[in-house]
Structures are given as structure tokens and as C-alpha cells.
């Protein structure tokens, strides 16, 4: 069953942190079932884009739609794998607890975890080869294992969209290959995946779509069309100075937005 809406639609999105623009006028429409890599230099707003889609950051302008709905209602369709640094690895939870958290969204306010939920979590852990570690505390795992646990949690969510922020950071080569093959199989099940990635060398074999981002969208499309010397140069070749300067000056004056909303 195909939805008439795009899984993720971003229109003229502008986001500022501390009055400094990070994303500026980004337009994006992602097709269902694509495996998208988000690529750009440090501070290009990759994570911010993901966070805005997840409704963790509210945009200064423009909007995000998920299956045609606003992000507040839409995020329940999204499975999110956070950046490694944002997780508290000392937290007293076991691997199984974390994966079960993926089922919480379906339980409502007072629901209890059922046998089916447990079986589901079991299967997801099996898929990522982490079943033997189910009772370990999450801090006692290697980087690749930790990443796989979160992947299992995302699988347990049974979402149709998955967002991942640098899933390969601090992960050994073997785990990386394993994760990629899981991602590909997820794509074959019709899921839409958006992955922030920093390694240009592997991007070409991992993804089928690519979003080049450097404060604004440089290009988005199938990898053969976008992965060109010219466009990559543009992405990594610094910013339009006047452009970013003016954008940050405008963002420093919130009064402009206020006046705009009045008139």
C-alpha cells in the first residue's frame, strides 16, 4: 500500500541555533522506499535537519511534513537512532529493556508489555545478532554492539521511516558491514531510511539517494546523478560568504520575524 504523500517533505526550512542559522531554505521530498545518505562538512546542519524532522528543534521558517502530517503527529511513524554521544551509557537499563522501549509507542498510557511484545523484541535482537547479550547493561558493549542494539530498538518500533545520526561513528568494520546489510534488507521491506554519514568513500556503495547539504541543500537525487565532482566540490568548498553572513545577521534580529507575522 503506497501512501499518496511523501514520507518526508521539507519545505523552505530555516533553522537557527542561538540566533545563528544552521539550515537555510531547504526543500526536500523523499520518496518512499529510498535509502538516503545525508552528506556535508562539519556544521553543515546534517544533525539539525534530522532533529528538525524529529520535532526536537522547532524551525524558524518553513515546515516539515511526514506522510502529509505535521511532525508532532508524524513522529510516531519514525524510528530514530540517536547520535552515540547523546545516549547516557551508564543508565541502568539492559539491552532487552532498550529494545522493549521500541514497543512502548504502541502500548498507550496504561498498557502493559505483552508476550507478543517480548517475542518481537527477541526477534529484533536476533536479526542484529545481539540475542546473547540481552541481559547486559548497555554500557558494557562495544561501539558496534551498542549501535546494533539501537537498530534492534528501531526495528521493534515497526516504523515506516528511519532516521539515523552517524550510525557508523566508532563502529568496527565488521559491525559496519553487518549494519549496512540490515539497512538494505529494511529498504527491501519498503522502509524509508535517512542516514547522516560522514565518509564519502563508502557513501556510493551504501546509499541509493544522496542529499548534499551545506547550510542549504546543494543537491538531492539518485546517487549516480548527485555523486559528481562538481557538486561535491560545491558542498565542501566553503560557503557563499555574503549569504551566510547576511543570514546570521537577519537571524540575530527576531523583530523581523515579528513584524512579518503582523503584516
User: Binding of another protein at residue 82 (CB under 8 A)?
Assistant: yes
Q: Nearest CA to 144 among 181, 169, 162, 164?
A: 169
Q: Does 256 sit near another protein (CB under 8 A)?
A: yes
Residue 12 within binding range of another protein, rule CB under 8 A: yes
Q: Nearer Cβ to another protein, position 229 or 263?
A: 263
Range list of H helices, the chain: 46-53, 71-74, 95-104, 115-127, 143-157, 173-188, 200-206, 223-226, 229-236, 241-251, 254-262
Instruction: Work out how close the CB of 82 gets to another protein at its nearest, in angstroms, rounded to a whole number.
Output: 6
Q: How far is the CB of 177 from another protein (least distance, A)?
A: 26
CA 84 to the chain's CA centroid? 13
Nearest residue (CB) to another protein, 12 versus 199: 12
The neighbouring-strand residues paired with 13 are 26
Please state, as a whole number, how many other Cβ atoms lie within 10 Å of the Cβ of residue 1.
Answer: 3
Q: What's phi and psi for 163, nearest 5 deg?
A: -115, 130
Asked if 101 touches another protein (CB under 8 A), the answer is yes
Shortest distance in whole angstroms from residue 262 CB to another protein:
8
**Residue 110 or 201 having the CB closest to another protein:** 110
Q: Which of 2, 110, 116, 229 binds another protein (CB under 8 A)?
A: 110
Residue 170 found at the interface with another protein (CB under 8 A): no
Q: For the CB of residue 173, give the shortest distance to another protein in the complex, in Å.
A: 27
Considering only residues 137 through 166, tell me which ones interact with another protein, judged by CB under 8 A: 137, 139, 153
Residue 184: Cβ-neighbour burial (10 angstroms; 0-12, 13-18, 19+): middle
What angle, rounded to 10 degrees, do the helices at 95-104 and 143-157 form?
30
For residues 153 and 99, is the Cβ–Cβ distance under 8 A?
yes
Q: Is 63 in the site for another protein (CB under 8 A)?
A: no
CB 189 → another protein: shortest distance, Å? 20
User: Closest by alpha carbon to 30, among 10, 1, 50?
Assistant: 10
Greatest C-alpha distance within the chain? 62
| 257 is a contact residue toward another protein (CB under 8 A) | yes
Residue from 1, 2, 4, 90 binding another protein (CB under 8 A) = 90
Three state DSSP letters for 138-160: HHHCCHHHHHHHHHHHHHHHCCC
238 lines the binding site for another protein (CB under 8 A) = no
- Which helix or strand (DSSP H or E) is residue 188 part of? helix 173-188
User: What are the residues binding another protein (CB under 8 A)?
Assistant: 12, 25, 27, 54-56, 61, 75-76, 78, 80, 82, 87-88, 90-94, 97-98, 101-102, 104-105, 107, 109-110, 137, 139, 153, 216, 240, 242-243, 245-247, 249-250, 253-260, 262-263
Amino acid at each position: 500500500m503506497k501512501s499518496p504523500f511523501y514520507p518526508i517533505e521539507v519545505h523552505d526550512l530555516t533553522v537557527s541555533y542561538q540566533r545563528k542559522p544552521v539550515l537555510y531554505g531547504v526543500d526536500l521530498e523523499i520518496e518512499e522506499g529510498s535509502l538516503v545518505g545525508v552528506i556535508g562538512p562539519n556544521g553543515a546542519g546534517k544533525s539539525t535537519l534530522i532533529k528538525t524532522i524529529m520535532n526536537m528543534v522547532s524551525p524558524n521558517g518553513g515546515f516539515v511534513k511526514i506522510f502529509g502530517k505535521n511532525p508532532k503527529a508524524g513522529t510516531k511513524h519514525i524510528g530514530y537512532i540517536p547520535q552515540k554521544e547523546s545516549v547516557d551509557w551508564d543508565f541502568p537499563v539492559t539491552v532487552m529493556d532498550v529494545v522493549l522501549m521500541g514497543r512502548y509507542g504502541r502500548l498507550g498510557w496504561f498498557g502493559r508489555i505483552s508476550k507478543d511484545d517480548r517475542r518481537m523484541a527477541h526477534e529484533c535482537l536476533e536479526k542484529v545478532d545481539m540475542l546473547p547479550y540481552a541481559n547486559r547493561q548497555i554500557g558494557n558493549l562495544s561501539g558496534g554492539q551498542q549501535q546494533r542494539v539501537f537498530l534492534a530498538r528501531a526495528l521493534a518500533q515497526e516504523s515506516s521511516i528511519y532516521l539515523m545520526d552517524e550510525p557508523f561513528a566508532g563502529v568496527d568494520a565488521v559491525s559496519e558491514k553487518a549494519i549496512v546489510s540490515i539497512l538494505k534488507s529494511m529498504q527491501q521491506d519498503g522502509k524509508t531510511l535517512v542516514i547522516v554519514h560522514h565518509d564519502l568513500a563508502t557513501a556510493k556503495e551504501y546509499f541509493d539517494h544522496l542529499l548534499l547539504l551545506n547550510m542549504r541543500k546543494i543537491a538531492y537525487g539518485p546517487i549516480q546523478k548527485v555523486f559528481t565532482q562538481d557538486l561535491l566540490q560545491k558542498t565542501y568548498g566553503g560557503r557563499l560568504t555574503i549569504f551566510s553572513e547576511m543570514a546570521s545577521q537577519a537571524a540575530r534580529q527576531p523583530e523581523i520575524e515579528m513584524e512579518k507575522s503582523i503584516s
